[in-house]
């Protein structure tokens, strides 16, 4: 009988260890998700700041050229964020897309 108790005690210890490991993995995943979201937000802000800086450094000789470039850059930034696996739609902005997932709201924004 002591042999069976020892076996169950080892199984219980193994189960507790697996639960602790699973909790650690879940925490790491959550932190990674937060970092990815923050990274995307910072990349978007950085791109906006670069655009703003470019407006100040370029001469204001051709307004049409600036209008075309400013319309093109934000959409390419959103496309890049979407390709990195994040929503760009208003409802789910910044949330991670599941692998292989597509979002019709994001697609509507990107392909207008």
Measured CA distances, 20 to 7, 16, 91 (Å): 20, 6, 35
String of DSSP letters for 6-31: HHHHHHHHHHHHHHHHHHHHHHHHHH
User: What are the mean pLDDT values of the chain's consecutive 10-residue runs (112 residues total)?
Assistant: 78 96 95 87 82 74 51 69 85 84 84 76
- Please give the structure tokens belonging to residue 28: 């790491």
Domain that holds residue 43: 2-110
The number of folded domains in the chain is 1
The pLDDT of residue 14 is: 95
């Amino acid at each position: 009988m002591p042999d069976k108790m020892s076996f169950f005690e080892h199984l219980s210890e193994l189960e507790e260890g697996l639960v602790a490991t699973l909790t650690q993995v879940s925490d790491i995943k959550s932190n990674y998700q937060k970092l990815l979201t923050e990274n995307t937000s910072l990349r978007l802000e950085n791109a906006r700041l670069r655009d703003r800086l470019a407006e100040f450094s370029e001469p204001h000789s051709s307004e049409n050229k600036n209008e075309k470039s400013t319309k093109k850059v934000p959409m390419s930034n959103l496309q890049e964020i979407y390709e990195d696996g994040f929503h760009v739609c208003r409802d789910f902005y910044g949330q991670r897309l599941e692998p292989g997932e597509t979002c019709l709201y994001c697609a509507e924004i990107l392909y207008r």
